[in-house]
């Protein structure tokens, strides 16, 4: 682990991530309780979306914590090259879903459905952003070696 100021920053980051995980656990609990108290399908759907996102956030936070405390993240040129064509093909699918969702939203005049479509667009754009991050990682790998 880092020393001096680097170690202090890492410890602060770890503490913040762990605090954040506590908030995500609380969000999981509260959304579950709300879902148990209502039969309204819209509220249940919204709470399920939030709960599932909180579960995933908690997992990603733990991955970051583990990468700082247990095992650093690694990805070799070979590992990335082995699956790169599949990643590119998947990225095309993600972009197509964004186009379809935007087309649906443009034609939708109902508030609830439009809100859910906006959520889907944001989520699909998030997937595209994640894949762009891998592409940036690949590009930087190429510069280094």
Render each residue's pLDDT in the chain as its tens digit; 145 residues: 456 899 999 999 999 999 999 999 999 999 999 999 999 999 999 999 999 999 999 999 999 999 999 999 999 989 999 999 999 999 999 999 999 999 999 999 999 999 999 999 999 999 999 999 999 998 888 776 6
| DSSP code per residue over 119-133 | HHHHHHHHHHHHHHH
From the list 53, 51, 62, the residue with the least C-alpha distance to 21 is: 62
Read off the tokens for 9: 């920053």
């Amino acid at each position: 682990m880092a020393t001096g100021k680097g170690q202090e920053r890492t410890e602060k980051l770890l503490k913040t991530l762990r605090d954040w995980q506590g908030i995500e656990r609380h969000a999981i609990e509260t959304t579950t309780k709300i879902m148990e108290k209502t039969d309204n399908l819209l509220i249940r759907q919204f709470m399920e979306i939030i709960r599932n996102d909180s579960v995933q956030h908690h997992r990603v936070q733990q991955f970051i914590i583990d990468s700082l405390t247990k095992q650093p993240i690694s990805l070799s040129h070979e590992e990335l090259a082995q699956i790169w064509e599949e990643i590119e093909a998947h990225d095309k699918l993600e972009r197509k879903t964004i186009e379809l969702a935007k087309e649906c939203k443009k034609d939708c005049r109902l508030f609830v459905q439009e809100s859910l479509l906006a959520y889907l667009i944001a989520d699909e754009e998030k997937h595209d952003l994640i894949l762009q991050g891998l592409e940036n990682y690949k590009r930087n790998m190429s510069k280094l070696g």
